[in-house]
Amino acid sequence: MSVVVFGGYGSFGAQVVRELARRGVAVAVAGRDLARAQELASQLGPPHRAIAADVTRPESCLAALAGHSVAVCCAGPFSSVGESLLEACLAAGRHYVDIADDRAYVARVLARDSAFRDRGLVAAYGCSSLPALSGALAQLARAQEPDAPRAVRVTLFIGNDNPKGLAAIRSAVASLGKRLPAPQGTLTGFRDGEWVCLPPPFGRRRVYTFDSPDYDLLPALLGAADVRVKVGFEMALATSTFALLAALGSGYGARTAAFLERLGRFGPRLGCSGGAVLAELFWSDGRRHSASLSGARDGQRMAGLPAALVAQVLDAGAPASGGALAAYELLGTRPLLDAVAARGYQLAVA
């Protein structure tokens, strides 16, 4: 059969589509803008094709699933996607994959664990930098010690010369000044700045609190009672602007996101298109271990690789067990990280 990618012509969706095509998987590019979907499909050539589909409408999702074994959701922001595609995959007997880093949405996928498992289907959630790569890196760092760490810090670093999709900006803006529950207490979005040492070529950077499903997943995964997730941008002005907005208040919406998206679109394309994901684990006696994936270019491709890898495996045949799974649960921690590194990224463990 083949894979249908909803939002397949977007910033991240196009990365997933191109990687699947490169791996020999037939792809249907789906979205509300048929012309954009056709443009990408024509660039890829046969057997790839385009479908007009609205991920928020159940009947549209069901129609788009016909003839496909796996649906990948790259539409966003996930706070407004709804559950139509999830329900359509259950009704049609199709595997489901998404790139969600939205905590509430990931919780909704996890709530359908038994429903997917009972049908022998997989719902693979968060197949992107957060929480797929961050969770895998944290486990790799954890494997070096017999006891659980006291705390974990995850950092996502984004190069300035990456396309700045409106959905991703809306997601980031929504967390500015927002109260974020964490295992150790309540945090505030884009506050509590810290300096972290990122892998080359990025070095020491200022990063701020970011919302992520990792707050809900890492305590059980690692045994850590303190979880911090941070984000930083290569352009210091962008990082400072987000921090200032968070200090001034919260509740920023679509207008703020649209304004920032326009600034990003027409602003100078300085810096690199790379990025990094870093997981650091800390023990009470001073022990520290870390693991990272990084690259000086194609940071968005790195973020899209887990979804493509998972979709390829699911399209190749049904897994031994189903349910709601993270990418590292389905593929294995080291195989996932090695497969990403094989595409030109640096995997480092310390």
pTM across the whole model = 0.93
Residue type, 336: L
**Most distant pair of Cα atoms in the chain: their distance:** 58
- Mean pLDDT on 254-269: 66
Nearest to 85 by CA among 93, 96, 76: 96
- Mean pLDDT on 9-38: 97
**Identical topology for domains 3-128+301-344 and 129-299:** no
Check residue 162 and give its pLDDT.
Answer: 79
Domain positions in the chain are 3-128+301-344, 129-299
- Mean pLDDT on 69-87: 94
Per-residue confidence band for 168, with pLDDT thresholds at 50, 70 and 90: confident
Nearest to 256 by CA among 328, 333, 350, 171: 171
Q: Is the pLDDT of residue 122 over 70?
A: yes
Buried b (16+ CB within 10 A) or exposed e, 84-115: bbbbbbbebebbbbbbbbbbebbebbbebeeb
CATH architecture type of domain 129-299: 2-Layer Sandwich (3.30)
- Mean pLDDT on 29-57: 97
Other beta carbons within 10 angstroms of residue 258's beta carbon come to 14
Distance (Å, rounded) from C-alpha 254 to C-alpha 226? 32
- Give residue for tokens 């910033």: 11
- DSSP conformation class of 96: E
Nearest to 24 by CA among 52, 54, 53, 3: 3
- 151-158/275-282 β-pairing: antiparallel
Fold (CATH) for 3-128+301-344: Rossmann fold (3.40.50)
Beta carbons within 8 Å of 132's beta carbon, 6+ residues apart: 126, 306, 326, 327, 328, 336
CA dist 278 to 29, 32, 202, Å? 31, 35, 12
